[in-house]
Amino acid sequence: MQFKYPELLWALLLLVIPIIIHLFQLRRFKKTPFTNVKLLKKVVSESRKSSSIKKWLLLFTRLGLIAALVIAFAQPFKADAIALQEKENIFYLDNSFSMQAKTQSGTLLQSMVQDFIKNVPQEERFTLFTNDKVFTNVAIPEIKNELLQLHISANQLTIKEIILAAETYFKNKTGTSKNTILISDFQTRMGPIPTDSLLEANIHYVQQPLLSPTNVAIDSIYLSTIDTDNSELTANLSSSYPLETTAISLYNGDKLIAKTAAKFNQNQKASVRFSIDSNTSIIGKVVLSDNGLSYDNQFYFNINTPEKLKVLAIGASDVSYLSKIFTNPEFSFSTSSLAQLNYATVANYNLIVLNELETIPTGLTTAIKSYTENGGNIILIPAPNIDIESYNQLATAYFNTRYTTKINQEIAVANVIFDHPIYKNVFEKRVANFQYPKVNSYFSIRTTNPTVLGLQNNAPFLIGIENAYFFTASLSQDNSNFKSSPLIVPTFYNMGVNSLKLPQLYNILGEPITVEIPISLSKDNILTLVKGTEVFIPQQRLLPKKVALTFMENPTTDGTFKIENNGVLLKNISFNYNRAESILSYLSLKNIPTNRVYETVPSFFEKAQKTNSINEFWKWFAILALLFVFLETVLQRLLK
């Protein structure tokens, strides 16, 4: 038993007073003469015995009365040690897409928010954070409305990130009980659960199980060309439970243009194909009806009016293989000899191929450097014999690249860097038994530029990234069979496509995206993105012939946005949420101590209330004091 005011227990010394009074009563006995007391001896003896019992009973009741009153004022109680500590609670409330899962009382997020509001003591102050908001040192009445209007977030933190974030919100107070409470469905992608003993301390997990987790999602779409007038749009779907068919629709803006049924296989996967006009720009949306998560029931895309990429090949060598790659309608391919080149027109092209020039004039080097500084792109293919000094005057400006000596050795092009942006989405898997091309000679090179293709001896064959690419060997028929290799088409095609980063079919929110709009703007003008009433200005870089837009943190919602210049539509760009949360797979919390895992928010607060409860006994001692007063009254009246 513990006491709130233990210093009052010194008052128990007052118990000495009634003891002294009862043991040392200064009573004087008066003698009364009586003629004959023989008959009264027995009565006097019994009377004295009764008086002695009464005195001891009165002493006991008065001692009890004083002791009960003193203990009552000292306020005795019983509680765990943790209940007496100052508490600091940090709550994490998951508001990611997976919390859209349906329950009997709405969505999982709505259910947990309502339970949280009902069960947190109204006067308790705490800190609560979600995936995109923080409420510091607040009470329920202060944030109730904001919690009820809490929106779903595209961001989902891992458990380790949540715990580390919670640590930053704790105050640096010693002697306080610090608790981190995680309220989530705990999808598998949030794991693993940290095993560090420091991180595990005072961490509680509230995971409400779903009765029947079901969801159907549109995972991705892609466009393939059938002929010059027709294309085929394919939508890939997945289901988290056995399903035969589901309806899926295709819209252009608000207009329904096609509707069909998706048939799922044994792996709960389905593909649906729609035929569309290749020459029509579309603000598209693929939609399905599903009772699971709602964020993945629509997929936005757009097909803009094709923008031709202008490619110029400079040199007298054979360029027929380039003309077969850079074809209409995507490209506008031109050639020019070095003698006929007009340097003033260089800036009008998106990509320039320096095709096997034996020497690079100083004037061309100056023009190319200025061209790339303003957003242009180049590909340098050396001749079998080159003026190394003139080449290096240009190459050193890009990652300090320098050609050195020529090596006459037949060797295969055997290393493909599959992770390079050039080969993104080109290979379904990493090919090991590929029939690689070869070269008869090549130039050694020193550079900090990343390798795209490498030779068998790990020497570079093609290096570069972003706007400058350098081959180390001639591609002429006498020196290499690279022109006959399957690698040549995706290599040059993607270098050409990347020379102007046009809006793709769709983009994923949260991933770094760069889009280039071929327009010349004055310094005072800016491009804006518009979707209904939503308007924002993206990060942008003005170049002489184009504007580069960069997207990272914005936008935060999916949909198709208009890229406008002073209200004039230039392009459309579509964004979709990442589909990672569509997989309804959850972490098992079996390895966590059972006293730290709860199935509902109320069960956590019920356990917390028991742990923090203080049993006070002062009322019982006050009642006991009254009981002693009553006993003394009875004794005084009944015992003579």
Spatial neighbors of 167 by CB under 8 A, at least 6 apart, are none
Query: Is 502 within a domain?
Result: no
Full DSSP string of 47-103: HHHHHHHHHHHHHHHHHHHHHHHHHHHH-EEE--GGGGSEEEEEEEE--BGGGG-EE
- Does 139 lie in the same domain as 247? no
The CATH number of whichever domain residue 602 belongs to comes to 3.40.50.410
Boundary (domain end) residue, out of 303, 331, 347: 303
DSSP code of residue 618: H
- Does 396 lie in the same domain as 313? yes
**Domain extent for 438:** 309-497
pLDDT mean for each 10 residues of the chain (640 residues) = 70 73 58 57 55 73 77 70 66 92 84 90 89 91 92 89 88 72 90 65 82 86 78 92 92 92 92 87 91 91 85 89 89 91 89 93 92 90 93 92 93 88 74 78 92 92 91 93 90 88 86 88 88 90 88 89 91 93 87 83 77 65 78 70
- Does 605 lie in the same domain as 628? no
- Does 229 lie in the same domain as 367? no
Cα gap 301→222, rounded to integer Å: 10
Closest of 262, 259, 174, 275 to residue 227, by C-alpha: 275
Query: Is 620 within a domain?
Result: yes
Residue 584: its pLDDT value, please?
86
User: 569 - beta bridge partners?
Assistant: 564
For tokens 């466009």, what's the residue? 223
- Does 456 lie in the same domain as 332? yes
Query: Is 392 within a domain?
Result: yes
Cα gap 464→397, rounded to integer Å: 12
- Does 318 lie in the same domain as 444? yes
- Phi and psi for 628 in degrees, rounded to 5? -65, -40
- Does 404 lie in the same domain as 276? no
Identity of residue 391: Y
Q: Tokens for 210?
A: 């779903």
Q: Kind and range of the H or E element at 354?
A: strand 351-355
Cα gap 119→524, rounded to integer Å: 55
Residue 198: its pLDDT value, please?
47
Number of domains in the chain: 5
For tokens 């004959």, what's the residue? 36
Boundary (domain end) residue, out of 497, 530, 553: 497
Asked if 274 contacts 256 with a C-beta cutoff of 8 angstroms, the reply is no
3-state secondary structure of 640: coil
In degrees to the nearest 10, what's the CA dihedral of 364, 366, 372, 377? 10
- Does 477 lie in the same domain as 435? yes
Query: How distant, in Å, are the alpha carbons of 6, 50, 135, 513 from that of 45?
Result: 47, 9, 82, 111
Boundary (domain end) residue, out of 287, 303, 319: 303
The CATH number of whichever domain residue 339 belongs to comes to 3.40.50.880
The CATH number of whichever domain residue 252 belongs to comes to 2.60.40.150
- Quick: pLDDT tens for 201-210: 588 899 887 7
- Does 260 lie in the same domain as 409? no
- Does 438 lie in the same domain as 401? yes
pTM score, two decimals?
Answer: 0.73
Asked if 95 contacts 132 with a C-beta cutoff of 8 angstroms, the reply is yes
For tokens 């939609």, what's the residue? 287
Asked if 550 contacts 542 with a C-beta cutoff of 8 angstroms, the reply is no
Cα gap 307→13, rounded to integer Å: 99
Query: Is 534 within a domain?
Result: yes
Residue 591: its pLDDT value, please?
82
Cα gap 225→393, rounded to integer Å: 43
- Does 327 lie in the same domain as 443? yes
- Does 229 lie in the same domain as 208? no
